[in-house]
Structure 1
Amino acid sequence: MAGKDDLDYEDMLEVTYEALEESGFRDIRVTDAEDLPEPEAVEGHIPDMQATNQKGITYLFEVCPPEVFAEMELVERLQAFTRRAKELGGQVVLIVPEGEEGLAAAFVEEHELPEDRLTIWEA
């Protein structure tokens, strides 16, 4: 695995999966993982991960290396995911590299994404 300062998409996905397992999340679904089920599609978009915490709350995870914040498709994905999270009483989590929380927060604010259903975690 890469060092903490140079985590790429795959590394961030792996770190997130391990953290979810250790935290007691269940029904963890991962996009393109050989041994795990796929997350459910949401309005044609598939989240990077989906899991349920110990209280039964569904979380949709989107792994976001800094370069994805330049892609307008990310806005559409996150809008769809936050709508689904609201329906489920769940949460959307953006996974960003350590030190990039400010970039993600500015992106969320700029595109007026619903912050009540969206959280940012650093990998």
Structure 2
Amino acid sequence: MFIAYVVLASLLALAMAGSAFMTFTRNPAVMGNMTKLGVPEGWLPWLGAAKTAGALGLLAGLAAPALGVAAAAGLVLYFVGAVVTHLRAKDHELAPALVLTVLPAVALVLRIASS
């Protein structure tokens, strides 16, 4: 179980770090999506910080299980919020947000199971 957590946490942390970078640098694709969903531009630093914290927490969870659990749970909540935001905006392109809700949920289960 721990090896599966290491692989998933590492890949998910890499994806979150890349997404945070694109959020912080106001990548046009990110900005277009956020505008379409009605997310205020002032929220972007907080959203990028949440993704960064999730990425770092997943990696820290390799050594400190409680941090891995907290980071994975935080990312699940983050992406549940993303799914809700898509639904409220009547945007039915949910696949990325749903996948990114499931992956940290699996990481959470793996981290708890390997503790």
TM-score bracket relative to the smaller structure: 0.3 to 0.5
Q: Tell me which of the two structures has the higher relative contact order, counting C-alpha pairs closer than 8 angstroms and 6 or more residues apart.
A: 2
TM-score, structure 1 normalization: 0.33
Larger Rg: 2
Bigger share in strand: 1
TM-score, normalized by length of structure 2?
Answer: 0.34
